[in-house]
């Protein structure tokens, strides 16, 4: 009897890490990796930076080449979407109608970009989550001027294209920096007055705002009310093209009323976990796929990466991170714990080697880490920065945008962020929030670590 496969749904960083960890952990049975994009697994953070800028080409984003994947002996299903999962039987349904009965399933479907009503049928309005989306936006940025106007290309006297970025979070800020470096006219619009404030706090956000303004980005505050368009030329040849973004109530942060002229629009208004295909009532899909501390959503069903909302054993509450390092670490943890479960519950049918049977399930308790590159400024953070009820920011050099921020929750320090801090100091800061400390003790240790640099 042929062993049932383990299926990993999602062929990005978390899914690839899970597949490799399954093989390292001793799984010798069939291993299926399913991805809805046609591309080999690739890295997403460079999409809004090096790839959009044109400094990197798509092949540099590959996490593994076809030759490097070959030893994994994968049943690789690219361009294939999972459309359903029966939890009791661990049976996946794929978009071609195939049903795949599995020994175990790891869900790593990530998130999808949010959009606005009507935007899908307006040319020049983009989202930036996938490789194809990033290449489409890069291609349009490479052609200057208003469509049909004969305008000059960026850097050729035409001032580039008028790009309106809706959403002033991490993605919007990174894309704004790249577009300005390429010579385009950029307006950054957010519902919140301060860029990235929800993630980094107001004072660090103000430093970022100063840097963007100094680089020529216009910052506006307001909600988008709709788009203005012009018919494609010649008539009937395609979708109408965006010409402006309208802000509700006129917006704030500058003159010009409620209308922002635009040749291109990037919607960077956040994401939603890709769980719409998981309709089995045994699963909790509110804000991602709910898992226990071992990353298990149900017996034999695990999750990893941006889609997983799991019980963090240190912080004592369910968390979901859209961070690159977490994707890899959680993919490996989910794989190890799935193998340990299978070796205990169904050792004869697992197809696992001795390595799998020797494991025990372990709670997944990472120290979250994220970074953002904007112009020459690098932000790096450990722990939890969003949702803090106390933030203390020390600006070390305003002109150089060097700063340090400590984030607290319920009387304990849970996160730290540094801008322009040397790597040696940054490593010391990580230790301060690896286990939440009382606020005053953390402040003292942060001061000592900073002084030691």
Does any domain span residue 367? no
Is the domain of 262 the same as that of 136? Answer: yes
Q: What percent of the chain has pLDDT over 70?
A: 90
Does any domain span residue 142? yes
91: Cβ contacts below 8 Å, ≥ 6 apart: 85, 99, 100, 101, 102
CATH number at residue 151: 3.50.50.60
Token output for 153: 């290309």
Domain that holds residue 413: 376-452
Residue 423 has pLDDT above 80, yes or no: no
User: CA 139 to CA 147: how far, in whole Å?
Assistant: 13
Does any domain span residue 362? no
Is the domain of 171 the same as that of 247? Answer: yes
Token output for 207: 């430093």
Does any domain span residue 415? yes
Does any domain span residue 366? no
The per-residue pLDDT for range 289-303, each reduced to its tens digit, is: 999 999 999 999 999
Is the domain of 295 the same as that of 427? Answer: no
pLDDT of residue 2: 60
The per-residue pLDDT for range 233-288, each reduced to its tens digit, is: 665 658 899 999 999 976 665 555 589 999 999 999 999 999 999 999 999 999 99
The per-residue pLDDT for range 179-237, each reduced to its tens digit, is: 999 999 999 999 999 999 999 999 999 999 999 999 999 999 999 999 999 986 665 65
The last residue of a domain, from among 210, 244, 267: 267
Residue 415 has pLDDT above 90, yes or no: yes
What average pLDDT does the structure give for the chain? 90
The last residue of a domain, from among 215, 234, 267: 267
pLDDT of residue 345: 84
Residue 19: its H or E element: helix 13-24
Is the domain of 263 the same as that of 123? Answer: yes
pLDDT band at 156 (very low <50, low <70, confident <90, very high): very low
If one counts every other C-beta atom within 10 angstroms of the C-beta of residue 45, the result is 18
DSSP-derived letter for residue 115 is: -
Is the domain of 133 the same as that of 220? Answer: yes
Question: What is the pTM for the complete model shown?
Answer: 0.92
Q: State how many domains the chain has.
A: 3
Does any domain span residue 70? yes
Is the domain of 241 the same as that of 279? Answer: no
Does any domain span residue 326? yes
Is the domain of 48 the same as that of 184? Answer: no
Is the domain of 94 the same as that of 15? Answer: yes
Is the domain of 396 the same as that of 350? Answer: no
User: CA 78 to CA 310: how far, in whole Å?
Assistant: 27
Is the domain of 24 the same as that of 162? Answer: no
pLDDT of residue 154: 38
Does any domain span residue 106? yes
CATH number at residue 440: 3.30.390.30
Is the domain of 253 the same as that of 137? Answer: yes
Is the domain of 285 the same as that of 422? Answer: no
The per-residue pLDDT for range 357-384, each reduced to its tens digit, is: 457 999 999 999 999 999 989 999 999 9
């Amino acid at each position: 009897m042929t062993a049932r496969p383990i299926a990993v749904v999602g062929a990005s960083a978390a899914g690839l890490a899970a597949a490799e960890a399954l093989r390292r952990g001793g799984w010798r049975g069939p291993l299926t990796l399913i991805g809805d994009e046609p591309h080999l697994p690739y890295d997403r953070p460079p999409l809004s930076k090096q790839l959009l800028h044109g400094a990197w080409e798509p092949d540099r984003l590959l996490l593994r080449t076809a030759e490097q994947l070959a030893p994994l002996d994968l049943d690789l299903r690219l361009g294939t979407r999972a459309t359903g999962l029966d939890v009791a039987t661990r049976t996946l349904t794929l978009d071609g109608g195939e049903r795949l009965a599995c020994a175990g399933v790891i869900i790593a479907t990530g998130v999808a970009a949010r959009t606005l009503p009507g935007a899908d049928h307006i040319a020049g309005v983009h989202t930036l989550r996938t490789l194809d989306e990033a290449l489409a936006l890069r291609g349009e940025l490479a052609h200057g001027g208003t469509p049909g106007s004969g305008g000059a290309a960026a850097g050729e006297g035409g001032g580039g294209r008028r790009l309106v970025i809706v959403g002033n979070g991490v993605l919007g800020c990174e894309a704004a920096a790249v577009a300005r470096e390429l010579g385009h006219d950029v307006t950054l619009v957010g519902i919140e007055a301060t860029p990235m404030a929800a993630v980094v706090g107001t004072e660090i956000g103000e430093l970022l705002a100063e840097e963007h303004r100094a680089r020529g980005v216009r910052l506006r505050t307001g909600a988008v009310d709709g788009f203005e368009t012009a018919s494609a030329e010649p008539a009937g040849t395609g979708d109408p093209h965006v010409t402006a973004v309208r802000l509700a109530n006129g917006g704030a942060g500058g003159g010009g009323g409620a209308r922002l002229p635009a040749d291109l629009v990037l919607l960077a208004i956040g994401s939603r976990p890709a769980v719409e295909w998981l309709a089995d009532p045994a699963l909790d899909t509110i804000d991602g796929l709910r898992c226990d501390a071992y990353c298990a959503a149900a017996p034999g069903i695990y999750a990893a990466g941006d889609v997983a909302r799991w019980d963090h054993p240190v912080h004592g509450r369910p968390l979901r991170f859209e961070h690159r390092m977490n994707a890899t670490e959680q993919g490996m943890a989910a794989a190890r714990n799935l193998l340990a479960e299978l070796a205990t519950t169904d050792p004869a049918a697992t197809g696992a080697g001795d390595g799998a049977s020797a494991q025990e399930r372990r709670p997944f308790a990472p120290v979250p880490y994220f970074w953002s590159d904007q112009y020459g400024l690098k932000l790096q953070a450990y722990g939890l920065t969003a949702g803090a009820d106390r933030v203390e920011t020390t600006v070390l050099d305003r002109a150089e945008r060097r700063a340090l921020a400590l984030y607290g929750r319920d009387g304990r320090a849970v996160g730290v962020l540094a801008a322009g801090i040397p790597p040696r100091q940054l490593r010391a800061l990580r230790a301060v929030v690896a286990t939440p400390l009382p606020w005053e003790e953390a402040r003292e240790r942060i001061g000592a670590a900073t002084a030691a640099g």
